[in-house]
Structure 1
C-alpha cells in the first residue's frame, strides 16, 4: 500500500512544481498516473522512490518501489549486471560453485540460490538472450535498455513497481510483451504513460495537475468518458455565459438609448417652458449622473460575466481552443509519388531486408512503416526522401514538396526564438500581426514569443512545427512522421491527431503506437 498526504514540491529558488498531492494505492492495484507534460509526474515518482528530496508532506509505503525510469543515460557506463544491481550476487554464487565458500560470499548471496535461473528466464522473456550481463549499456538501443530494466522486475520480484513511460522505445513485439506482463503480474503498479492501449489495461486513473490529483475508478476509456461529460457540461456553461453576456450588452444599449431619449425630450420641454439657464444646467447634470449610474451598473454586470467567460474558456482543453487551417496540397488524388521495385539496401555487403521491397504510395494515401527495432525503417525513409540510393532495384520519386518530421522536431532551430522560428517558414509574406495571430492560434501567447526553441517541451515543439507548416505558401505534398508521439503527453497527441486528420496530403508514418495509427486512419502498411 502507498499513502501520499499533502505532498508539495518546490526546488530551491523556483516556483512550486505541484502541491496538495494526496492519494492512496492499495495492494495489487494497477494505477495510471496521467497529466500534461510539465506538471511533475516523473518528479513525483522520483520523490516516492527516494531519488529526489525537494518536497514536503507525508509518504508511507509497505515496500520501496522498483523504479523503471524513462531515461537511461546515467547508466551507460555500467554493465547490465551493474545497472540491475545483481553483479555482487552473481559473483558470489560463481565463486561458491567454484569452491570459494566464504562467509562474505554466503552473506552477499543470502538465500538467493536461483538468481542465475531468474536472470536467464527474464532475458529470455524480453528477447534479450543474445546479450551478455557484462555488456555495457552504452552498446544497447533505447528499446534494449528499457527491456533490461523490465527484466530486472522478474529478477528482483518486487511487490511494488513504478514504470515511467515504459513503452516509449519499444517496438510492436516489445509492447506486446509489456502488455502481457502487466496483465499477468500480481505486483502493485503505478504507471506514467501516454500509451492508450497500456492505460486501458490498468484499473485506476490518477489525473495530476500542479494543484492536486483527481482519482477515477476505472481504466483510461472510463476516464475519457467521464472527462467528456465534464467537458460537455463546461461547454454548456460557456454557451450560457456567452448568451447572458450578449443579453447584458443589448440591455445596456437599450437602457442607455431609452435614457438618452428621455433626457432629450425633457430638455426640449424645458427649453419651451423658458426654464432659467442655471436650472437647465442643474437638470443636465442630473441627467448625466443618471446615465452614468446606469452605465456603471451594466458595466459591472458585463465585467463579471466577461471574467467568468474567460475562466471557462481557459478551462477548455487545448484542442478546443486551437484552429489549424492547413492549405490543401496542389497534387491530385491518386498521383504516384513513390514506386519501389525490388528495392534493397546493403551495409558492408549484407542485405538489409531478406526480401526485396515492392510498393507504391499515391497522393492522398496514409501509409505506415512497421518493423522491429533495427529492421531498416530509417534507411527506407532516407530512400523515399532521395537521400540515399538503393543498392538493388529501382525507386521512382515524383517531383513533390516533402517534409520529414522526427520525434524531436529537429527541423526547429534551437538558437531561434519562437517568433523568429515562425518567420523562417513565412514564405507567403504574412504581415507581423498575422504571424502573431497564427502563433496565438497554436497556444503561444505574447509572453511566449521571445522564448528560445531550445527551452520548449516536446508538445510545444510539436505545436510550433504545426504552426510553421500553416504559414508556408504551399502545403507539403508529403509529410513523413517518425515516431511522432514518443515525447508527447496525451493532450498533445490529441492535438497532433486532429492536425493530421485535417491534413489532406500524403502521409507516411513510422510508429509503434497502434492507437494513434487507428485514430489517423492509415490505409496501407509497409512491413519490414
Structure 2
C-alpha cells in the first residue's frame, strides 16, 4: 500500500508546486498518473520513491518502492550492478564460490544465492544477454539503460514499482516486453507515461491538476472520453453564460432607456406645472438617484456573470486554443519527391543493411520509418536530407523545402530568447504585435517572450517550432520527425497530433509509438 496524506511541495525558491494532495494506492493496484507539463508528476513520483521530501504532509508505504527513472545519464559512470544495488552481493557470491570468501562475504550475501542467476535471467528477458554486471552504463544506448533498470524489477521483485516514462527510447519489441510484464505483474504499479498503448493497460487513471488528484475509474481511453464529456459540458456552460451575459446587458440597456424616458417625461410635466426651482432640483436628484440605483443593480448582476464567465474560460484546456494555420504545400499531390534505388551505408567494415534499400516517396504521403534501435533509421533520414551519401546505390534529393525536427530540437537556437527565435522565421515581415499574437496562440505569454530557449522543455520547444512554422506561413513540402513523442507530455502530444492532422504536405516519421502513428494517419512503412 502507498498512502499520501495532505502533501505539499514547494520549490527551493518557495514557489508552490502543489498542496493538499491526499490519496491511497492499495496493494496490487495499477494506476496511470497523468497531468500537464509543470503539474508536478515527476516530483510526486520522486516523493513516493523517497528521493525527495515533501514540504508538508506524510507518505507511508508498506515496502520500499522500486523506482525506474526517466533520466539515466546521471548513472553513466556506474556499472550495471552498482546501479541495481547488487554489486557487493555478486562480488561476495563469486568469492564464496571460488573458495576464498570470509564471514563478511556471507553477511553481505545474506543467503541470496540466486542473485547472479536472477541477474542473467532478467537481462536475458530484456535482450541484454551480452551485458555483464561490470559493464559501465555509459557504454549502453538510451534504450539499453532503461532496460537495465527494468531488469532490476525481476531481480529485486519489489512489492511497489514506480515507473517514470519507462517506454522512452525502447524499440517496438522492447515495448511489447514491457506491456507483457505490466499485464502479468502482481505488484503495485504507478506509471507516469505519454505512451497511450501502455496507459490503456492500466485500469485506473489519476490526474494531477491544480485542484489536487482526480481519479478516473478506467483506462486511458475511458479517461479521454470522460475529459471530452467534461469539455463538452464546459463548452455548454460557456455558451449559456455568454447568452446570460448578453441578455443581462440588453436588459440593462432597455431599463436605462425606459428610466431615461420616464425622467424626461417627468421633467416636461414639472416645467409645464411651473414648479419652483428648488422643487425641480429635488425631483431631479431623486430621478438621478433612482437611475443610479437601477444601474448599480444591473452592474452587480453583470459583474457576477462576467466573473463566472472568466472562471469558466480559465478552465478551458490550453491545448484546445492552438490551431496550426499553414498555407498548403506548393507541390501538387502525388508528385515524386524522393527515389532511392538499392542504397546502403557503412560506418566501418560491412554494410548497415543486409539487403540494399529501395523506395519512392510522393507528395502528400504519410510514411513511418520503422526498425529496431541501431538499424539505421536516423542514417536513412540524413541521406534523404542530403547530409550523408550512400556507399552504394542512388538516392535523388528533394526538389522542395523540408523541415527536420530531431530529438534534440536543433531547429531552436538556444542562444536566443523566445521572441528572437520567432523572428528568425518572420520571412513575411509580420508586425511585432502579430508575431507576439502568434506566440500567445501557442501558449507563450508576455512573461515568456524574454525567456531563453535553452531553458525550455521538450514540449515547449516543439510548440515553439510549430509556432515558427505559422509565422513563416508557407508550409514545408516535407516534414520529418525523429521520435517526436519521446520528450512530450500528453498535452503536447495532443497539440502535435492536431497540428500534423491539419498539415497537407508530406510526412516522414521515425517512431515506436504505434498509437501516435495511427492518430496522424500513417499509411505506409519503410521497414529497416
TM-score (norm 1): 0.96
Partner residue of 2:337? 337
Residue equivalent to 2:212: 212
Q: Which residue of 2 aligns with 1:153?
A: 153
**1:34-49 map, 5 Å:** 34-49=34-49
Match of 1:61 in 2: 61
- Out of 160-169 and 349-358, give the one that drifted further: 349-358
Deviation at 1:279, TM superposition (A): 4.6
The alpha-carbon deviation at position 400 of structure 1 amounts to 0.8
Q: Report how far residue 373 of structure 1 moved.
A: 0.8
Is the Cα–Cα contact under 8 Å of residues 328 and 505 in structure 1 kept in the other structure?
yes
For the pair 1:255 / 2:255, whether they are aligned, the reply is yes
**2:380, 2:404 → 1: CA distance?**
13
Asked if 1 retains the 8 angstrom alpha-carbon contact of 2:164 and 2:192, the reply is yes
Give the match's secondary structure for 2:307: helix
The residue aligned with 1:295 is: 295
Who is 1:392 aligned against? 392
Partner of 1:487: 487
Please list the CA deviations of residues 453-481 of structure 1 after superposition, one character each: whole Å capped at 9, or x if unmatched: 22222222222211111010421111111
Render the CA deviation track for 1:241-293: whole Å, top value 9, x for unaligned. 01101111211222222223333334444445555555544444444433333
In structure 2, relative to structure 1, the CA distance for the partners of 1:7 and 1:134 (3 Å cut) is same
Kindly indicate whether residue 134 of structure 2 is the aligned counterpart of residue 122 of structure 1. Answer: no
Partners of 2:410 and 2:285 lie apart in 1 by: 67
**More moved, 440-449 vs 144-153:** 440-449
Query: Which aligned runs of 4 or more in structure 1 are off by greater than 6 angstroms?
Result: none
Matches of 2:405 and 2:41 in 1, distance apart?
27
Return the alpha-carbon distance in structure 2 between the equivalents of residues 412 and 432 of structure 1: 20
TM-score of the pair, normalised by structure 2 = 0.96
How much does 1:321 deviate?
Answer: 2.2
Map 1:110-509 → 2, pairs under 5 A: 110-509=110-509
Contact kept in structure 2, 1:408 and 1:487, CA below 8 Å: no
Aligned partner of 1:77 in structure 2 is 77
What are the superposed Cα offsets for residues 456-515 of structure 1, whole Å, 9 maximum, x if unpaired?
Answer: 222222222111110104211111111111111111111111111011111111111111
Does the 8 A contact of 2:31 with 2:203 survive in 1? yes
Structure 1 unaligned blocks of 5 or more? none
Q: Is the 8 A contact 2:369 2:526 kept in 1?
A: yes
Which is further off, 52-61 or 81-90? 52-61
Q: Judge which range, 287-296 or 391-400, deviates more.
A: 287-296
1:431 & 1:448 partners in 2: Cα distance?
19
CA distance, structure 2, for counterparts of residue 302 and residue 345 of structure 1? 70
Give the whole-Å Cα distance in 2 for the aligned partners of 1:241 and 1:60. 44
Deviations along 1:505-526, one digit per CA (max 9) or x if unpaired, are 1111111111111110101111
The Cα shift of 1:89 comes to: 1.3
Contact 1:47–1:55 (Cα < 8 Å) also in 2:
no
2:69–2:165 contact (8 Å) kept in structure 1: yes
Contact 1:40–1:210 under 8 Å retained in 2:
no
Deviation digits for residues 369-421 of structure 1, max 9, x if unmatched? 11111111111111111111111111112321111112332312222222222
Give 1:317 shift.
1.6
In 1, the alpha carbon distance for the partners of 2:344 and 2:105 equals: 54
Distance 1:323 1:260 in 2: 46
Judge conservation of contact 2:326–2:473 (CA < 8 Å) in 1: no
Report the 3-state secondary structure (helix = DSSP H, G, I; strand = E; otherwise coil) of the residue aligned with 1:301: helix
What residue ranges of structure 2 are gaps of 5+ in the alignment?
A: none
Do the aligned residues in 1 keep the contact of 2:323 with 2:499 (CA within 8 Å)? Answer: no
Total equivalences in the alignment? 528
Q: Match of 2:189, SS?
A: strand
Equivalents in 1 of 2:316, 2:368: separation in Å?
32
- Between 1:291-300 and 1:240-249, the stretch displaced more is 291-300
- Structure 2 distance, partners of 1:333, 1:97, is 69
The C-alpha deviation readout for 1:122-150, integer Å capped at 9, x for no partner, is 11110011222211101111100000111
CA distance in 1, matches of 2:341, 2:137: 39
Q: Distance in 2 between matches of 1:445 and 1:291?
A: 41
Matched residues in 2 for 1:445 and 1:183: separation?
42
Q: Contact between 2:7 and 2:54, CA under 8 Å: does it hold in 1?
A: no
